[in-house]
Amino acid sequence: MTLASWREARALARTLAGPVGVDTVPLALGAGRVLAADVCSRTLVPGFDTAAMDGYAVAGAGPWRVTGRVLAGATNPGVVTPGTAVEIATGAPVPDGAEAVVPYEDVRVDGGLVDAPPPRKAHIRRAGEDLRPGDVLATAGRDVTPPLLGLLAQGGTDSLPVRRRPAVRLVVTGDEVVDVGLPGAGQVRDALGPLVVALTEQAGASTPELVPVPDDRDRLRAAVAAAGPDVVVVTGSSSVGRADHLHAVLADLGATLHVDGVACRPGHPQLLAGLPDGGWVIGLPGNPFAGLVGCLTLLRPLLDGLLGRAEAPAVRFPLRGGSPPPGTVTRLLPVRVRDGAAVPVSDAGPARLRAAADADGVAVLEPGWEPDQPVEFLRF
């Protein structure tokens, strides 16, 4: 099979999978989820004319005789008539007849009278000037952020329709891989497992089920075929070595290979397959940085598709510090973002994570890129 271009592979991973089902969650539990439907305001905001400053609600020209006080939460703010004023707190309902709220710092107080120059601003927020019933507050596919939660609360939302978190099984292969302690002779610590778990949770999926598997075809087939997850991620078995059994397992299971290798560096031996039952399998290279590139190329876009997440516009920066042209394949380069530019982090390699750990994300240098052109930036 011909290697897919990096951009083709990434687009395919995003569009192949349709969105998963819908959960309804309390507003307080919505942060980090992805909206499954538009959410509209159910009320006026403000719900009444309200003071935007601490001071005096006045009518007519000054000086004004102070006739009372209104605090936030008042249910009967009363009336002001020309020549009178009511002391008022920020957020309190404005009395009928008030033309402006004069801030404390602008007034002179003399006994029961206050005076000030003619107000330059009304300092009154009118009912419904922020939100009205039916106003769309957020559209389907949007990530629920803390500020958005606050807006939705203002608009009277109590519960949210959100996409179910995709279920993920992470199959870590390799006779030599250990997940705790110091590796012994011939062993290595599993670096991809924690990385994939964190990236998967960050993307909005459930915490993956972790299944360590030795280099055994039957054990790998059982781990991939077991029912439950929407996505099975397999690390370290996507190439063509003697211990790499994923291709054979997928053939045994009747899977459809959609991506079998990507024209990128590092990370070309990555794959995306569809299982007959509708599940998805992603194969990642075993080298840690190459596996991270596979996550950015296939796993994160696939999860975005399953979550129905709206596609964000590409972020581009000039590349400062120089890099050789990528040649005929896409090159993914760890970079820091400094003063509006992407700056390469030294000592990057397929098996090394130090550069990626010190970086903000990767710069995407596609075939044909020239040093004077901006690069797309993918944040970790």
What domains are there in the chain, each with its CATH number? 4-21+164-307 (3.40.980.10), 28-44+136-163 (3.90.105.10), 50-125 (2.170.190.11), 315-379 (2.40.340)
- Among the ranges given (12-16, 268-272, 352-356), the one the predictor scored with the smallest mean pLDDT: 352-356
Other beta carbons within 10 angstroms of residue 143's beta carbon come to 16
**Among the residues of the chain, which ranges form H helices?**
6-16, 146-154, 192-202, 217-225, 246-252, 288-294, 300-307, 354-357
- Residue 7 is classified by DSSP as H
**Pairwise CA distance, residues 219 & 207, whole Å:** 22
Is residue 320 exposed (0-12), middle (13-18) or buried (19+ Cβ within 10 Å)?
A: middle
Q: Per-residue pLDDT for 233 more than 80? A: yes
pLDDT value at position 173?
93
Q: Which band of pLDDT confidence, cut at 50, 70 and 90, is reported for residue 243?
A: confident
111 alpha carbon, distance to own chain's centre: 57
**Pairwise CA distance, residues 271 & 239, whole Å:** 9
Concatenated DSSP letters for 257-312? EEEE-EEEES--S-EEEE-TTS-EEEEE-SSHHHHHHHIIIIIHHHHHHHHTPPPP
pLDDT value at position 344?
93
258 compared with 323, residue with greater pLDDT = 258
Looking at the DSSP assignment, which residues form a beta bridge with residue 283? 234, 271
Q: Which band of pLDDT confidence, cut at 50, 70 and 90, is reported for residue 226?
A: very high
Average pLDDT over residues 308-331: 90
Give the torsion sign (CA, 49, 51, 52, 56). Answer: positive
Q: Which of 372, 363, 366, 365 is nearest to 380 (CA)?
A: 363
Summarize pLDDT for 262-310 with one digit per residue, the tens: 999 999 999 999 999 999 999 999 999 999 999 999 999 999 999 999 9
Average pLDDT over residues 328-355: 91
What share of the chain in percent tops pLDDT 70? Answer: 100
Q: Per-residue pLDDT for 36 more than 70? A: yes
pLDDT value at position 237?
83
The pTM (predicted TM-score) of the whole model is: 0.90
Q: Which of 155, 131, 153, 138 is nearest to 36 (CA)?
A: 138
242 compared with 161, residue with greater pLDDT = 161
pLDDT value at position 125?
96
pLDDT value at position 1?
53
Average pLDDT over residues 68-75: 94
Q: Per-residue pLDDT for 141 more than 60? A: yes
Q: Per-residue pLDDT for 229 more than 90? A: yes
Summarize pLDDT for 50-66 with one digit per residue, the tens: 999 999 999 999 899 99
Average pLDDT value for the chain: 94
Q: Half-sphere exposure of 96 toward its Cβ, with a 13 Å CA cutoff?
A: 4
